[in-house]
Amino acid sequence: MPDRLSRRQFARITASSALGLSTAARARGQSAGFPRHFLWGTATSAYQIEGAVKEDGRGRSIWDSFAHTDGTIADRSNADIACDHYHLYRQDVQLMKALGAKAYRFSIAWPRIFPEGSGTPNPKGLDFYNRLLDELLANGLSPFVTLYHWDLPLALQLRFGGWTSRDTATAFADYAGYVVQRLSDRAQHFFTINECSRIVHLGHGLGLDAPGLKLPDAELNQVRHHVALGHGLAVQAIRAHGKRGTKVGPAENMVICVPAIETAANVRAAEAATRDLNAPYLTVMLEGHYRDTFLVRAGHNAPKFTDEDLRIISSRIDFVGLNVYKPDHYVVAADNARGFALAPFPASFPHMDASWLNVGPEAIYWAPRHLSKLWGVTSIYITENGTSATDEAAADGQVYDVDRIMYLRNYLTELQRATSEGIPVLGYFLWSLMDNFEWSDGLAKRFGLIRVDFETQGRTPKLSAAFYREVIRRNAVA
């Protein structure tokens, strides 16, 4: 790398950086690639792929009950069978291996381990994850384990109202400690909770996810606090029970604030917005207090909490996982008390095959940049990124999902921009390995690199699987 840049090189870099290209890589005169040990993987979650909902002593989850309630799932499907991964996991591990992936993010179904949510464990439930871990390791894949990806044991919902009660946060920590004690000889990385805000907002505010509640603001804020507390208690339990070297962090869908134009003033505004709009989750986890703006806005509906709760929520973490699909806000500097304004999304803003899935690749640059700049986070994983697509099969039976490839190529280019600037993103988990049960969208919204025929359980790699394999092989955007 040259020590000094010529005036001409400098001008070129400035121009390319305005276009969002990788400055550091260009400064090195190299074509941009990812760091040498960058970890490539795919992601799934238990309820979305496993099926076998009544097997080997598994208890029911709130999603079993929700998906079997009339009017909840767009295509009236459920995940009783889903991808039948519970039986086909060996084959699925081979599919990951064929991509060249070196890591896999999956979740543990709490009701397989504790069918009643707490109390007597079910050893057969744990055995499945023992088999899966062994299979992954035998095939050179590092397991990244999520402990809560939304399938709360139904028993806890019935017994004390699930996350409306603090007791669920405690039960979650007990379960987390139990699992980590038994799996951390083979898995080093554990995520506590997947997407706190979606659990709260869609599950307990809008009623669109399980448990389907529409709580008033004060109760909703209390749920919010219990979920954050559950994260913190689980971090502590994992530290207490994990083998040496066990690492833990959340997998958050941070509210992603992108400067509308990359001026210094807009960047500062986007940073202010990031701290403000993530107040109940990442901000409190990383700063140890609820921001005044959050509490004032909530007014008499603010959550009830103690200083000790805040200490627990902000327990030290080893990394932050980020699920990145879209920018949440384009931000401009403003002369107001908050110091920022949010630009409205025009109706013509481009999106993928889901109306919420706006295409804004720069989100995957700004999210980790804010984390490292604002809070000094030194280890970041992209725990989810990907898109649904219509995925019609062509006459030859193949799925030429060039729209998914377009999406991925653009996001990965922006991610490369981040790593080449030294932002500490250590790995990337593409959502998803294969088509699966997409919550209230049912089986109809397909996010996989691998097509799943839900009738026959046949698996067929799409063109995007070949694209991703090429990215992994080159360790650069293909």
Contact range with ligand FCB by CB under 6 A, out of 18-26, 134-142, 228-236, 431-439: 431-439
Q: Does 201 bind ligand FCB (CB under 6 A)?
A: no
Q: Does 323 bind ligand FCB (CB under 6 A)?
A: yes
Encoded amino acid at 176, one letter: A
Nearer to ligand FCB, 340 or 407 (CB): 407
Nearer to ligand FCB, 128 or 148 (CB): 148
Residues 117-156 that bind ligand FCB (CB under 6 A): none
Q: Which of 195, 271, 362, 438 is catalytic?
A: 195
Interface mask toward ligand FCB for 29-68; x: CB under 6 A = ----------------x--x--------------------
Is 384 known to be catalytic?
A: yes
Would strands 320-323 and 257-259 be described as parallel, antiparallel, or unpaired?
Answer: unpaired
Q: How far is the CB of 145 from ligand FCB (least distance, A)?
A: 15
Contact range with ligand FCB by CB under 6 A, out of 4-12, 20-28, 194-202, 310-318: 194-202
What's the rounded Cα separation, in Å, for the pair 18 and 360?
Answer: 16
Q: What is the CA radius of gyration of the chain?
A: 22
Contact range with ligand FCB by CB under 6 A, out of 119-127, 191-199, 281-289, 465-473: 191-199
DSSP 116: T
Judged by CB under 6 A, which of 159, 166, 198, 409 binds ligand FCB? 198
Q: Does 416 bind ligand FCB (CB under 6 A)?
A: no
116: phi then psi, degrees, rounded to nearest 5? -100, 10
Contact range with ligand FCB by CB under 6 A, out of 95-103, 159-167, 193-201, 448-456: 193-201
Q: Does 194 bind ligand FCB (CB under 6 A)?
A: yes
Judged by CB under 6 A, which of 92, 271, 384, 414 binds ligand FCB? 384
Which residues in 461-473 are b (16+ Cβ under 10 Å) and which e? bbbbbebbbebbe
Burial of 308 (0-12, 13-18, 19+ CB in 10 A): exposed
Find the DSSP H helices in 116-216. 123-138, 154-160, 166-183, 196-198
Q: How far is the CB of 202 from ligand FCB (least distance, A)?
A: 9
Q: Does 431 bind ligand FCB (CB under 6 A)?
A: yes
Contact range with ligand FCB by CB under 6 A, out of 4-12, 61-69, 192-200, 270-278: 192-200
What's the rounded Cα separation, in Å, for the pair 5 and 28?
Answer: 10
Q: Which of 362, 384, 414, 438 is catalytic?
A: 384
Nearer to ligand FCB, 102 or 149 (CB): 149
Angle at 90 between CA 48 and CA 121, to 5 degrees: 60
What's the rounded Cα separation, in Å, for the pair 40 and 105?
Answer: 10
Nearer to ligand FCB, 315 or 436 (CB): 436
Question: 107: left (phi > 0), else alpha (psi -120 to 50), else beta?
Answer: beta
Q: Does 192 bind ligand FCB (CB under 6 A)?
A: no
Among candidate residues 371, 375, 276, 411, the one with its CA nearest the CA of residue 331: 276
Terminal alpha carbon distance of the chain: 24
105: phi then psi, degrees, rounded to nearest 5? -105, 120
Burial of 396 (0-12, 13-18, 19+ CB in 10 A): exposed
Q: How far is the CB of 442 from ligand FCB (least distance, A)?
A: 11
DSSP 60: P
Nearer to ligand FCB, 48 or 274 (CB): 48
Interface mask toward ligand FCB for 275-304; x: CB under 6 A = ------------------------------
Instruction: Establish how many alpha carbons lie within 13 A of residue 206's alpha carbon, considering only the half-sphere containing its beta carbon.
Output: 9
Is 195 known to be catalytic?
A: yes
Q: How far is the CB of 234 from ligand FCB (least distance, A)?
A: 17
Q: Which residue has the tokens 């998906």?
A: 67
Q: Does 428 bind ligand FCB (CB under 6 A)?
A: no
Q: Does 438 bind ligand FCB (CB under 6 A)?
A: yes
Encoded amino acid at 447, one letter: F
The residues assigned a catalytic role are 195, 384
Binding positions for ligand FCB, rule: CB under 6 A: 45, 48, 194-195, 198, 253, 323, 384, 431, 438-439, 447
